[in-house]
Chains A and B, each alone.
Chain A
Amino acid sequence: MVDKIDLRNQINQGSFRLDVTVELWKALYEVTREGKPANVITIERNGVLKGYASYLVFPRGQLTALGILDMNADAEDVLAELVDALIERAKAENVDILYFRKAPSSDDHVFDEKGFLSFVETVIVIALQNPRELLNAFSDSNVTGPCLRLTIKGLEPVNVKVGKQGIKVVLDGNPTLEVFTDDETFLRLFFNQTTILREFLKRKVKVSNVLKLMMAKRFFESIKQKKWYIPFGDWT
């Protein structure tokens, strides 16, 4: 299973994702049920793992569904092969539906071509529990630059130095720019679901000095998660 974890990390490198250890993999993805075939389909080429899909049959409302817990493939033809194999499994299991929840991506057409329907039926809601510590995860002690004070409504302000190379969280410092926003806008900027300019125009982000808006932009660029990967198996 280590090779599957490696493939998952390799394909989703740079994406915000939940970490998977061997123990977690066993609990979340490689689920064995007595009298049932293994729930992981793999595709190898010349002995090298190219793709895998892990699934589980379970009730979904009044239906029986074959839910794909995790699926990664390093090429579109491998993904198409995996999808075909999953449709066959779904028929063999006599389920009502086969479904997969994924981040929108360039390989979506593979599913469309196989006859899958696409819609948004769930939302990932996120709560910001500790912004200072979250920003600390991006803090680089070598960064120098002007100080920005971020105030998220209802939470303690955080001072950060914004440099060309990144940010550094500081306890004091004399802020040259104050940025005010709310937790929803902050999270949407953090997860790259909107832009600072759009939120500024919507007055969801306010700055103490408009001429320094680019500094706020650089700050959000430093912490932005360009892509995300949270497959259904991670939904516990």
Chain B
Amino acid sequence: MKESRRTRTLQHGEEKKHFQTLNLCYAPWGDEDEWKRRYLEFPSFDIAKNVLIVEEKGEWAGGVTVWFREAVLSNGKKIKISLPGDGFVLPAFEGKGVFSTSMRAANEISRREGALLSFAFPAVYGHSALALSKYGFMNVLYPTAKVYILKPERFLDDFLSRTRRVVLNERFDDLKVKLMVPLNRNKKRWIERALRIEKGEIKEMKRNPDDQIKYDLTVKADVELIINAASLFYRRKRRLYIILLGSLLRRRLGLRFSLKFLRVFLGF
């Protein structure tokens, strides 16, 4: 660890700064009531013990919070567990090992307080679930999300904005992709989005695709399939290909691609 870096607990009087920092890093994290619920009203929780701040030359660089609970085992016995969460790294300190410092400190405090297991709840797409394995957090349980969508367009835009962090191989460069998602089960109304992929990253998303453009890939798929594919992308690629193939055969997935895309996909 750098000498200029130190980890300490949050001090009373810094509550507002912590709340504002979470909202800055998560954009948005939540409102003040939510912060109070999780940080002030939570039983046996003390911000001066459970909230860790990583400082670099006296300046806040990141942090993490550790909640403690009791878990009931199948035999009825209770054990202490910890729940690290709300980890943050301020933009100026990204990529400098601040997250590592936070997680190591969270593990230390968990063991010191007698936690036998620690639980965290990252998203399956993106890097966080993979990054946490460096600190002993292993993918073990997969909850099913049951989602009832009231506003499909907003849901899709939010999903796409989050999956911008999905990184493909760099050979997927300079590709234009059109995504067509049915609004309802009878597929009479569609939402369309245009994506631009540059060096393996989704760089741009447009709400109204320009039909004059020649797209390298046009994908027709429902939201459920798109999200499941994104979630399998990092953890079970073989299963992803089986699902995609099955969806193509059942006409749940429609693909139209250019020769350029095929060449890139096959790696020629």
Contact = CB atoms under 8 A, between A and B. Distances in A.
Given A16-B74, A124-B142, A134 B136 contact: no
Interface string B118-135: 111111110001001101
A114 B70 contact: no
Contact of B146 (A18, A31, A99, A234): A99
Nearest to A91: B150
Contacts of B118: 126-127, 129
A101 interface: yes
Interface in B216-246: 223-224, 227-228, 231-232, 235
A90 interface: yes
Contact of A114 (B122, B125, B148, B231): B148
A95 B121 contact: no
B150 A98 contact: yes
Contacts of B33: 33
Contacts of B125: 121
Interface in B149-184: 149-151, 154-155, 157-158, 161-162
Interface in B80-108: 81-83, 85, 107
Contacts of B111: 129-130
Interface string A15-48: 1111101011011100101000000000000000
A120 B79 contact: no
A212 B264 CA distance: 51
B38 interface: yes
B135 to A, nearest CB: 7
A142 B125 CA distance: 47
A136 to B, nearest CB: 9
Classify the secondary structure of A's interface with B: mixed
Interface string A194-236: 0000000000000000000000000000001111101000111
A102 B142 CA distance: 9
Interface residues of B, number: 74
Contacts of B157: 62
Contacts of B119: 124-126, 230
Interface string B12-47: 000000000000000011110110011001110000
B87 to A, nearest CB: 12
A16 B144 contact: no
B181 to A, nearest CB: 12
A111 interface: yes
Given A127-B136, A137-B79, A21 B43 contact: yes
Nearest to A59: B28
Contacts of A111: 146
Given A104-B144, A120-B143, A137-B75, 20 more contacts: A15-B74, A16-B72, A16-B73, A19-B72, A24-B69, A97-B147, A103-B141, A117-B147, A118-B224, A120-B124, A120-B144, A120-B228, A121-B227, A122-B145, A127-B137, A128-B116, A130-B116, A134-B116, A184-B140, A193-B140
23 contacts: A16-B73, A16-B74, A18-B69, A19-B78, A27-B42, A58-B31, A90-B150, A97-B150, A99-B146, A114-B148, A116-B147, A117-B146, A118-B145, A123-B123, A125-B137, A126-B119, A127-B107, A128-B117, A129-B82, A129-B136, A133-B79, A183-B136, A236-B38
Interface of B: 28-31, 33-34, 37-38, 41-43, 67, 69-75, 77-79, 81-83, 85, 107, 110-111, 114-125, 129, 132-133, 135-151, 154-155, 157-158, 161-162, 223-224, 227-228, 231-232, 235
